[in-house]
């Protein structure tokens, strides 16, 4: 914790950002939360360096690239409570629809077949794809699983409120895949 506030990170791996949109949909409840939490790392804030230790990380998206893999391992090492936020993080969901195809076929389709000008595979900036997309729990330990595509703002608020109260959120009847 810093300044007696719970430190929170939000992370965007291979997802569509819809889970982050749902997070923002908490609207005025974000103001209430602001008195209890410090957002120390997120696509939504300026700080792009992950702190030495974070209390809670909400992670959107699946593990699709070598960059995602490196990032989730780093985050696990520097996070007390890791939350898999949304179906992509929990189960692979949309990004894993590429799993029946080879990386070569996918890259050819994206960068050769559908391109009119200078068709070629990128050799820099774009992270290298892993052979298959994996949900987070197949790579590192996950402490809280939040289903939904995206999880509702109410669900995310409940999860954060329970964690702030020092309780494990009970989500069995609150969430289901795709809803």
Residue 150 engages ligand SF4 in binding (rule: CB under 6 A): yes
Binding mask 44-83 for ligand SF4 (x = CB under 6 A): ----------------xx----------------------
The yes or no reply on residue 18 touching ligand SF4 (CB under 6 A) is yes
Q: C-alpha angle with apex 16: 71 to 22, nearest 5 degrees?
A: 100
CA–CA gap between residue 34 and residue 36 (Å, rounded):
5
Q: How many whole angstroms separate alpha carbon 169 and alpha carbon 15? A: 23
Return the residue of 40, 57, 64, 86 that touches ligand SF4, per CB under 6 A: 86
CA distances from 76 to 9, 28, 83, 105 (A): 12, 30, 10, 32
In angstroms, the CA 171 to CA 76 distance is 22
39 binds ligand SF4 (CB under 6 A): no
CA atoms of 136 and 132, how far apart (whole Å): 12
* Position 13 contacts ligand SF4 (CB under 6 A): no
Binder among 16, 107, 164, 174 for ligand SF4 (CB under 6 A): 16
CB 21 to ligand SF4: min, Å: 7
Q: Binding to ligand SF4 by residue 15, rule CB under 6 A?
A: yes
Distance CA 62, CA 131 (A): 13
Footprint on this chain of ligand SF4 (rule: CB under 6 A): 15-16, 18-19, 60-61, 86-88, 93-94, 149-150
């Amino acid at each position: 914790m810093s300044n007696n506030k719970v430190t929170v990170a939000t992370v965007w791996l291979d997802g569509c950002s819809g889970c982050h949109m749902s997070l923002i949909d908490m609207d005025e409840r974000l103001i209430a939360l602001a008195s209890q939490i410090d957002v120390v790392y997120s696509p939504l804030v300026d700080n792009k360096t992950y702190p030495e230790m974070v209390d809670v990380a909400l992670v959107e998206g699946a593990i699709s690239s070598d960059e995602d893999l490196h990032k989730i391992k780093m985050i696990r090492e520097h996070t007390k409570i890791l939350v898999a936020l949304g179906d992509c993080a929990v189960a692979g969901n949309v990004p894993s629809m590429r799993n029946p195809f080879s990386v070569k076929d996918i890259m050819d389709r994206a960068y050769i077949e559908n391109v009119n000008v200078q068709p070629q595979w990128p050799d820099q900036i774009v992270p290298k794809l892993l052979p298959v997309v994996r949900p987070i729990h197949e790579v590192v330990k996950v402490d809280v699983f939040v289903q939904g595509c995206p999880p509702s703002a109410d669900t995310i608020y409940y999860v954060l409120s329970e964690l702030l109260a020092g309780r494990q959120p009970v989500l069995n009847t609150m969430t289901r895949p795709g809803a």
